[in-house]
Amino acid sequence: MPVDANAPIEVTGFSWVPPFARGHVRDIRVRWALEEAGKSYRTRLFHAMKPRPELYFEEQPFGQVPAYGDGTVQLFESGAIALHIAQDCETLLPADPAGRARATTWVIAALNSVEPMISELNTIDVFSAGEEWARLRRPGAEDQIRGRLAKLGDWLGDKTYLEDDFTVGDLMMASVLRGLDGNPLMDEQPRVARYYAHCIGRPAFQAALAAQMADFTEEAKEGELA
């Protein structure tokens, strides 16, 4: 669904981030869930390098994005928001209790069992590049990711998705795997690479990505991270 300035759902995001982060800010997970659910939303944007308004900390205690409001609930954390959106969308959460539980399990697995390792590698390569500790730590960080991806590939086998059909669990797992975009570690696991490509090939993801990219309208200012 298109971004609609009059929609009751509001999602916070950024109007500027460094080029390497564009398309990867975590509000894209919420946008993707809303696209899958067929719900319009409006955005409220901040510049990533400027302080947030003090009132924003009442919505998001850590000042991060995304935050979500729909007139009934106010939420933060992309996993919690995606699960909330999924509650009345059978594309994201199956109707049967067992299927819903499994989808929820995969959301938590993506955030707890996979994302921390990928985030560590990104910290090493992007924010701590050239530091001695990062050089020493990198081989171990890569090996941890290899182990996780191998297990994920074993689980997938020849399946298209983690369970019988696409769910919010796949949305979150694929979102986490985006942290390996362009990294050969993904290519080492063809089953995972195939699964990832299938997920981000969904029209709802492509719409969410285009919408986030369109919101990056501010240019970097002198003295700021570019």
Alpha-carbon distances, residue 11 vs 46, 122, 125, 209 (angstroms): 11, 25, 29, 14
Q: Give the tens place of pLDDT for each residue, 99-151.
A: 999 999 999 999 999 999 999 999 999 999 999 999 999 999 999 999 999 99
The CATH number of the structural domain formed by 10-91+206-214 is 3.40.30.10
pLDDT at 74 over 80: yes
Q: Output the pTM of the full model.
A: 0.94
pLDDT confidence bin for 222, thresholds 50/70/90? very low
pLDDT confidence bin for 218, thresholds 50/70/90? confident
pLDDT at residue 106 in the model? 98
pLDDT at residue 2 in the model? 73
The reply to whether 97-202 shares the fold of 10-91+206-214 is no
Residue with tokens 């390569």: 125
Q: Give the tens place of pLDDT for each residue, 147-180.
A: 999 999 999 999 999 999 999 999 999 999 999 9
pLDDT at 23 over 80: yes
Other beta carbons within 10 Å of 139: 9
pLDDT confidence bin for 225, thresholds 50/70/90? very low
Contacts of residue 22, defined as CB under 8 A and 6 or more positions apart, other chains included, come to 212, 213, 216
Ordered by start, the domain boundaries in the chain are 10-91+206-214, 97-202
pLDDT confidence bin for 219, thresholds 50/70/90? low
Q: Give the tens place of pLDDT for each residue, 75-92.
A: 999 999 999 999 999 999
pLDDT at 223 over 60: no
CATH architecture observed for domain 97-202: Up-down Bundle (1.20)
Query: In which element (H, E) is residue 11 found?
Result: strand 10-16
SS3 108: helix
Mean pLDDT of 181-195: 95
